[in-house]
Structure 1
Amino acid sequence: MTVISTTPDPAAHTLTLVAEFTAPPKAVWQLWADPRLLERWWGPPTYPATFREYDFVVGGEARYHMTGPDGARSNGFWRLTALDEPRSLEFEEGFADQHGEPSTALPVAATRVDLDETPAGTRMTIVFRFDTAEQLEQVVTMGMAEGITLSFGQIDALLASA
């Protein structure tokens, strides 16, 4: 399986996911840079994502929704804050209202993705940092750890078909 670990750290207010892939960092980078590829793995298999807006530049934003098995939609957003192709990216990530605007009712994560070359391919480390331990606990209780593990578990098949 792709995912090595998913670790919440209440003291640091973080949720960290580590995954390894048998593809070079440039190929893994494309999974973040191309919204059509991103749609194929961002979100658990039963909650696929649809990116309506995607401006993959520093200062750019993304608006998307995930559709559940019952047809219900959950909206989300990103604000890209740093890009260092193909090594790292950073963005603010959170929930959005029905119009796609960031919600103030739920936590926002400062997210950093690092893509490190390994002898076998790429190690991806993604850290979601929240303002408080309570915010981290809220998203973990909502199923974020399980959801991202399932989401990232789809990447191996996607890289194999590229």
Structure 2
Amino acid sequence: MTNDPVAPDLEVTRVMAASPTRIWSAWTDPAAIARWWGPDGFTSTVRELDLRAGGRFDVVMRGPDGAEYANVYVFGETEAGSRIAYVHQGSPEHGLGPSRSVVVLEEVAGAVPRTRVTLRSFYGSPADRRRHLEDFQAAAGASQLLERLERVAAEG
């Protein structure tokens, strides 16, 4: 679990048919991330990926309409196979300030490898929260992102 003092603005959980190791691998391989990062209909190009505290994740997402969305994230605490924390550096062109997210991977006991993946996001202001959740449909996008992550991780 997280040590966050406040409730997240967004929390999405999915139990995936893949081991924590496979899910972690999908996070650490730029070619894999390009296949799952973003909501349905988006493609992504990873320009930089350094999954360690202080490392950067620089990615360009392309929407179904061809619009491009450059995003830069800086990783905070990372724990291989169980936790990734990062700060999105914001998007002035879309009126968004920095936001923080935490991804927690928890193995689910059973005969078949499964992992509970929880994504929690914290926005910097009520205006950012509204923009993410209402204008950009962040909850639906996060759910789709986790579905896509599961497909890539299950492929191995």
Normalised by the size of structure 1, how large is the TM-score? Answer: 0.81
After superposition, the C-alpha distances for 1:122-144 in whole angstroms (9 at most, x for unaligned) are 10111001123332121011211
> 1:68 Cα deviation (Å)?
1.5
Runs of 4+ with deviation above 2 angstroms: 94-97, 131-134
In 1: Cα distance, 2:64 partner to 2:40 partner: 10
Deviation, structure 1 residue 160: 2.9
Count of paired positions: 147
Distance in 2 separating the partners of 1:12 and 1:70: 34
**Out of 16, 22, 26, which is 1:27 matched to?**
22
In the alignment, structure 1 residue 85 sits paired with structure 2 residue 80? yes
CA deviation after TM superposition for structure 1 residue 43, in Å: 0.7
Q: Distance in 2 between matches of 1:94 and 1:158?
A: 26
Structure showing the higher strand proportion among its residues: 1
Q: Partners in 2 of 1:71 and 1:111 — Cα distance?
A: 26
Unaligned runs of 5+ in 2: 1-5
Structure 2 residue 135 is matched with structure 1 residue 145: no
Q: Does 1:57 align with 2:52?
A: yes
Q: 2-side partners of 1:72 and 1:145: how far apart?
A: 20
Q: TM-score if structure 2 supplies the norm length?
A: 0.84
Distance verdict in 2 for CA 1:132–1:88, change over 3 Å: same
Letter in 1 for 2:121: F
* Alpha-carbon distance in 1 for matches of 2:143, 2:25: 19
Contact 1:65 1:75 (8 Å CA) reproduced? yes
**Structure with greater proportional helix content:** 2
Partner of residue 156 from structure 1, selected from 143, 146, 150:
150
Paired residues of 1:75 and 1:95 also in contact (CA < 8 A): no
Distance 1:17 1:106 in 2: 20
| Alignment CA distance shift 1:82-1:13 (3 Å) | closer
The two structures, once aligned, show a CA RMSD in angstroms of 2.0
Secondary structure of 2:35's aligned partner = coil
Are the counterparts in 2 of residues 18 and 123 from structure 1 also a CA contact under 8 Å? yes
